Amino acid sequence: MLLVTGDLHEAEDVVQEALARASTRWSTIRASDVPEAWVRRVALNLAASGLRWWRRRLAVLARLARPPEIPPASDEVLALLEALGRLPMSQRQPLVLHHLLQMPVEEVARELGLSAGSVKARLFRGRRALAAQLTEPAWEVPNHG
């Protein structure tokens, strides 16, 4: 979810809320073939909607406790997060699910409620947009020939 939301705290909030919702419906969800898919779908929906109410509530809670120390990310990871953050959610979600979670296109389509063709088109546009953004030397493949 970090790569979908672009913000660690928001990603944690989205996952926590999705798991909380799953816990109240567990008797129904556990009967499905892939309960994880239900939780992931809810988390993606929450991330896409922005979850404004939940963020305000958690902001109050965050003031009560100090967040844990997080080690600094590499320049490549920061560049990827920044580039993903500039993509529309409609491209970001399929990219994260397919390339980072290694889900097949058909599964991404089911997860997002889209056709496989729509997922492929969004992946194509998202990869093209990322490639255009990640043109710094650290991301270029050396030409040995």
Q: What mean pLDDT is predicted for residues 126-138?
A: 81
Q: What mean pLDDT is predicted for residues 121-141?
A: 80
State residue 126's pLDDT score: 95
State residue 139's pLDDT score: 46
Q: What mean pLDDT is predicted for residues 46-58?
A: 70
DSSP structure string for the chain: -HHHHS-HHHHHHHHHHHHHHHHHTHHHHTTSS-HHHHHHHHHHHHHHH--HHHHHHHHHHHHHSPPPP-PPPPHHHHHHHHHHHHS-HHHHHHHIIIIIS---HHHHHHHHT--HHHHHHHHHHHHHHHHHH--SGGGSPP---
Confidence of residue 95 (pLDDT cuts 50, 70, 90): very high
Q: What mean pLDDT is predicted for residues 8-32?
A: 91
Domain ranges of the chain: 1-70, 72-145
Q: Name the residue with higher pLDDT: 70 or 76.
A: 76
Residue-wise pLDDT tens digits, 2-19: 888 888 888 898 899 999
Q: Is pLDDT at 55 greater than 70 in this prediction?
A: no
Q: What mean pLDDT is predicted for residues 25-35?
A: 89
Residue-wise pLDDT tens digits, 134-144: 875 554 544 54
Pick among 3.40.50.2300, 1.10.10.10, 1.20.1250.20, 3.50.50.60: CATH of 72-145 = 1.10.10.10
